[in-house]
Structure 1
């Protein structure tokens, strides 16, 4: 939308808001709040994709109100200039009074047929009509700028912030409304000319009530016949249109040297008044009406150039729609989980995915080589498999990098969305680290309650990642051992771990966490991994193994639980075996590499805040290597 139709009042508000913003009369938080309110109002009206034209007026109104409450001079700028309004009314009245105050056309007691002032008035108006006709015939020229003197007169005589706002506003206002203002100025000038002519005619008539006119003519070079010819041309409009009798040669000759006196002079006065009415007053009133019509027409045609709002366009919340092509049912379900994880992203920008191939989209993300539907063939496309960006939150920036390359015009909105997604991921990750740290400290202080603590951890992680919480209650005592076997440090290498893995695989995604059942949706491989770690932990605790082994495995199990729960909704079943095998090795090796620091942080009396940063290092290392 390159331009937006606006009323004169709406245009005034928008231009004043631009000047307020330019002068710094409102703070950045106030700018953000005004935009937020305007966007919210647009969406309440049912606007699916908010553009500049949907918010520019509401935002401008909010800015003007905020600045106007602090400075009455700025508030006054929102209304049309009272000075110009009174000037437009006073000038025609002044012209009428000036015409009435004219005591004579040539002589206070004479009506001169060849009065130079009268002839000058008529000639001036006829010249103006010819000029207007010529300008109407030729191609329209650019509207001239308003004279600087009139601009200065319209501005308030102030200094400071309000003066800067006023100077910038009037510069914008007169530039944007030059065409209707030119017609308004023409209307006032035509009314002044009509009022002046009417004042002269009224002056002649009113003075005739108390003055005995001498009428006629005198000339050194003209004789009666020549003056008769001039009078015939001069009064031709009256004689031709109204059938009035023209002056005869004898009448002209009889009034030479102002020989005419008395009541016969009234004919001359009425002829003068009629001529002024016909040549000056009526045409000028018609031109004033024409200028008023054009002024109203131009005012109705005012448009706001939206190309001048690049900064506002960049600040607008982006409503980006990405078409998803070739998603399997599992990937479609995983994508819904990703979108749900960022539903409350703390920004007005919106990123929406759709697989409805008839819906308009901004760009297309091809998860596979499926053919592009006809409705999407005009949109930019990028081949981006799910494993490249969707299987983990650490990969999500890849999506925004590709989307920005496809949609450079929406780079600002996509950058805000990327930051919001990263902030939400970081917040969720930090909360998960705190939950892991609390769980491990509790497991060290209360080894007998490990299963209960693990169940609490899983419930917290499930809540953070939008998964159903573990429902079964935890009994007070540990269960009987499931079988004999030797404890092993590496996840998945002991007989207990193998038994747990088999149980997890048999149940699919139903995983035995501690003493309660927790339904996970990542598939058999991740279920087996988590089931194996849980079985190993329970057997190790029941066998009263060395404290170091128990603590190390508690860290490995906690990290594994985080990895599984955080990714179970993202990882399609066909990709789960690869990740499960990778995580077995990564978790064991990474915990071993950082074990000295982890063990020190788990000792009684260690600072509580020391554990979470170490867990961050471990998990980020595993994630980055797993999804490299």
Structure 2
């Protein structure tokens, strides 16, 4: 029995079309997750249409993305298209223009690709120029109208991610200019959630008879993208679980050494001379911080690979780090009183000393030793809650772990938004508003996060599932807050 046409495997074609040198090949690399074609900052680099598989379904469907030559003289193109079917026009297009006007011939090849291969045209416009200055736009829209294929307009070259209001203003200006819906999708800085919005737009533009095959392709794309997201949260959960359970033992005489170290810090904060030799506490801090720095580099490398990017992390990924440590050890009220009196008056000096005393690692990784602004009784209760500790050891404090979780989410956003079209991955400054969004998400889910930190005396393998669930929930909330119009994809 022959399956219905809607159930038969199909190839859906998407043709990337634009004015020359707007970034089609760069966007194609980002959407495909691999390097194709040639990218140079000059006109007419792509001279032939090239097709590449963007997605394939288990049922045998194929989503094909075509990178095409750029438009040149669009007015002339419109006239040539009106000659379709004329033998003289065909001769001029296939022979004369090929040797006498190669860029114009390449543009005709793009139009032929649209006619023969495209179910939907993805037309790119350049956000880095004013819509009023795009003098070629009317002629190119006329060409697309003559071709008679559904068109989705993409706003490319937006620059770094922007707050939604700013992006909406750009999108609205271009939408008013082209007279049809416009979808922001930057080749350099886009997220997989935004790619889902592109597929939604394509599905809406397709003829009814092509939608069943496309729905199978979209399910396959969603499974792949969500798989990368979940694997990323696995990686971050592993890193955070290792940090939460990490301990650095201190020698038995560590308390006396720590009091001496704190006294030296107090003296330095008052401008007095002090012994500059690192003691057991500073060495333990450096050891913990170095392990955290190494784990951050290695984890970022794995995130980069998971997202289909090339390149490796460098010390610049260490810019956001914890400044606080907590000491685990048995403390009595009398000894706590000594600590409390010293910490209250010397906190600022101690922090300044540790930030400027050479206890740093690459890219701003601070091996800080800020004890915390606690009074004597509060400090004693904080330590006495951790009973059953035979010897003193150094561990990350809860505020430091919160900061590491904050940094993990920021790092995920940075990697997930890095388009392959930019070339090898390299650390960049994240948009300022991301930091605020992450802080809001961490605050909303702080109770669950602290419930996980409360289990840090368990092995890292036991803590990791709870952290993975927290990261999935928090990152889902974070992406939905950045892209509320696409939140359904995250459910």
How high is the TM-score relative to the length of structure 1?
Answer: 0.38
How high is the TM-score relative to the length of structure 2?
Answer: 0.47
Is the helix fraction higher in 1 or 2? 1
Larger Rg: 1
